[in-house]
Amino acid sequence: MTAADTRPSTLYLVPVLLGATDWRTSLPENSVQQARRLTHYVAENAKSARAFLKAIDHVLPLREIVIDELPPSPAPTDIEKLLAPLSQGIDLGLVSEAGCPAVADPGALLVRRAHELGFGVRPLVGPSSLLLALMASGLDGQRFAFHGYLPRREPQRGERIRALEKESARLQQTQIFIEAPYRNGALFESLLRHCAPATLLCVASALTLPEEKIRTRRIADWRENQTIDPDQPSVFLLLAERS
């Protein structure tokens, strides 16, 4: 594959709905119109990508849209194959399971290679659970870091939480992380157990959905009322007192 200097092919980064809801609640019409024009997609999961394209009323029958799956740990040969439509003058869309692609998923490698080969890269406007949670948390939005998933088991999870809290206090930095919904309860209990009483914790659940709930409290207050929505996709944010 060579750089497409004479072909203005573009890799479009297409945000996906954060849950089962009408696209008009969280996606701009311009983004949806562009997504409807694309005939080739790369997705983490082809089935969920088809569901998204159906939800936005793509102009083509789903069977006519090419959707290739991106492996969790793609090899260089996988990336080259997935980008092949761009070298043929065909625009390509990249979607993740939910929210903005190439953020906290392997799509970033695809984007990097598209840059290296000289193709256009265009991010479309849409929901990002991380930024929505940060915006609504009331925590520091000037200094923040996203850490993905924390260790699943103790004592490693507790050790990681204490390290993040210490770093937050030192830098006055909001720490952001996520968890699979079925493990939200265990993570929440670990946060209450290992964090200092004055540390601020925000739990932002079901963002953009009718059941959305965003609460920021100090750990001491959370301990008095230990209730979250354990089965909802959630973002966790903490900010410790200055050390």
Per-residue model confidence as pLDDT tens digits over 183-201: 999 999 999 999 999 999 9
**pLDDT score recorded for residue 55:** 95
The amino acid that residue 227 corresponds to is T
Q: What are phi and psi of 85, to 5 degrees?
A: -55, -35
Residue 130 three-state SS: helix
- pLDDT lower than 50: segments of the chain: 1-5
Q: Does domain 10-123 have CATH number 3.40.720.10?
A: no
Cis peptide before 155 (omega within 30 of 0): yes
CA distance 94 to 68: 10
- Indicate the angle between helix axes 184-194 and 156-171, nearest 10 degrees: 60
DSSP 24: G
pLDDT digits (tens, 9 = 90+) for 133-181: 999 999 999 999 999 999 999 999 999 999 999 999 999 999 999 999 9
- Looking at domain 129-239, which of 3.30.450.20, 3.30.950.10, 3.40.50.720, 3.90.550.10 is its CATH number? 3.30.950.10
Return the domain boundaries, the chain: 10-123, 129-239
Rounded CA separation 25/32 (Å): 12
pLDDT at 5: 47
Q: In what order do the strands lie in the sheet with 234-239?
A: 144-149, 174-179, 234-239, 200-205, 213-218
